[in-house]
Amino acid sequence: MSKPKLRKVNLAKRKEQRRKAAAQLEATTSMIMDHPTDCCMCKKLFTRNQDTVKTWMVTVAEEKKTVRLTCPDCWVTINEVIKCQE
């Protein structure tokens, strides 16, 4: 009885990992593409330009399948609350 070649086993394992990663990336990307158009806390309107794209934060909760968009001011507030709770 011959053993399977280690290279073939690793190749199949890596191929399956790549498939799973690609599927997860596709699911996350589709969720982000359907992001909200306002801040989740203060309801400030998100206008897409170079500055807002760099400063606003997107949070993806994969288990709940939700995407939240947060303005920089509210993001600072959220981080302060988290630091106080720790």
pLDDT tens-digit readout, 18-44: 999 999 888 878 777 777 888 888 989
What's the pLDDT score for residue 22? 93
Answer whether 31's CB lies under 8 Å from 60's CB. Answer: yes
For the chain, domain boundaries: 1-34, 36-86
Q: What are residue 62's phi and psi, to 5 degrees?
A: -65, -35
Average pLDDT over residues 56-61: 85
| 8 pLDDT higher than 70 | no
Mean pLDDT, all residues of the chain: 83
What's the pLDDT score for residue 17? 92
DSSP states of 19-52: HHHHHHHHHHHHHHHT--SB-TTT--B---SHHH
Extract the tokens encoding 85: 């709770």
